[in-house]
Amino acid sequence: MGGATVLIVGAGPAGLVLGNLLLAAGVDCLIVERSSRTHVERRARAGFLAEATVRVLVDNGLGTGLLARGTRHDTCVFRSEQGEFALRYGALGREEAHTVYPQQHLVADLVAEFLRRGGDLRFGTPVSEVGGLDGERPWLLAHREDGTPYRLTGRYVAGCDGRHGVCRRRVPADAARPHRRRHGVSWLALLVGTPPALPAVTYAVHDRGFAGHMARTPSVTRYYLQCEPGTDPASWSEAALWEELDLRMRAERFGPLRRGPVLERAVVDLESDVLDPMQYGRLFLAGDAAGLISPSAAKGANLAVMAAETLARGFTAAVHEGDEEPLARYSATCLPRIWRAQEFSHWMIGLLHAPAGDDEESRFLRALRDSRLENLRTSRAHQHAFADNYVGV
């Protein structure tokens, strides 16, 4: 037995930001995470933080690392058969930029700060059951490293354990409606041990498929290659990967890429998923547990942090003031922001991808894609709208 006022399942950005904010507010909490600390702190994920996300982190004493080692990015580049154009989105719309800071570094910072503040964080602790959600004392059935089960009880449960985690599965089918879309597009995601070859995020549109270049650190770069769904990432040799990247990024025309060892590779299927509402009884979902967004617009970690801030305010009001109204409004507060991000992500998918076939529909969709790019290149109104949505959450 044991527990805390708020039981947090999952030590990703959502769970760790929530835990740190609750400790700062004097709300007792506990985080359980199924993976090891080493795995969590080395797991490479997205690294583009919006200004609103940076504000949450910095204002709550969680931004020391990103301020010291993060890099400001305010420009993206689009390449196509028609040429190349740069969009300095940091000077458009609300004039906001991204801070590039790899998610694994942010997670390591958040773990260290949570422990420094005296938080209880249990790695290697999977949760097999969540119960009592419609009562006053919800509980978790956690497991020690040797497999021994034990129960944790609390007043609330925060499910931050991902789309396939136990918390999402405990929401009854008739209590929330999932909204899902498979976009029929897959990316081969590559982490390469080489400095960025280009000064800005670069999106390359090609009839063979999309390719992308994103900086991560001074010595590591993220590349994406559109591939067939179901592709085995190991089926590509490094030579074939670089040949295809050179072709789609049009290296012969715009300059060579910096080659280096491929450190990680995985296939990412572009999917969207939103659960409405994001709560059930005493259970509140945040991050990927509440909804999945495609990586086409780098919104996932940003939405997770914003949801954690909203949830922390709700728990604090309930515990210290006896006011549960903010918790009751949690889903209604978060969902408009999530759907705005989903809409922009869906638009970005249409901007960057089109079928390669020679049938009427494929030709039509490629023409639409080319028109979107041309509108973005030439229309100031489109550029301002792009900037507001690209950075905004």
Kindly name the residue from 101, 203, 223, 224 that is annotated as catalytic. Answer: 203
C-beta of residue 20 within 8 angstroms of C-beta of residue 119:
yes
Q: Look up 150 and say whether it is catalytic.
A: no
Q: Look up 390 and say whether it is catalytic.
A: yes
Kindly name the residue from 13, 73, 105, 223 that is annotated as catalytic. Answer: 73
Kindly name the residue from 295, 330, 346, 353 that is annotated as catalytic. Answer: 295
Exposed/middle/buried for residue 175 (C-beta within 10 Å: 0-12, 13-18, 19+): middle
User: Residue 51 has which token pair?
Assistant: 């200004």
36, HSE (Cβ side, Cα atoms, 13 Å): 4
Nearest partner of 85 among 223, 195, 203, 213, judged by Cα: 203
Quote the DSSP letter at residue 258: P
φ, ψ of residue 202 to 5 degrees: the values are -125, 125
Exposed/middle/buried for residue 77 (C-beta within 10 Å: 0-12, 13-18, 19+): middle
C-beta of residue 184 within 8 angstroms of C-beta of residue 36:
no
Q: Look up 179 and say whether it is catalytic.
A: no
Kindly name the residue from 98, 213, 299, 353 that is annotated as catalytic. Answer: 299
How far is residue 183's CA from residue 382's CA, in Å, rounded to a whole number?
A: 24
User: Residue 145 has which token pair?
Assistant: 């490293």
Q: How many angstroms separate the Cα of 368 from the Cα of each of 41, 83, 227, 257, 393? A: 41, 17, 21, 29, 26
The continuous run of DSSP H or E covering 301 comes out as: helix 300-321
Q: Look up 299 and say whether it is catalytic.
A: yes
How far is residue 46's CA from residue 265's CA, in Å, rounded to a whole number?
A: 14
How far is residue 296's CA from residue 346's CA, in Å, rounded to a whole number?
A: 8
**What is the per-residue DSSP string for 128-182?**
EEEE-TTSSS-EEEEE-TTS-EEEEE-SEEEE-S-TTSHHHHTS-TTT-EEEEEE
The continuous run of DSSP H or E covering 273 comes out as: strand 262-276
Which of the residues are catalytic? Answer: 73, 203, 295, 299, 390
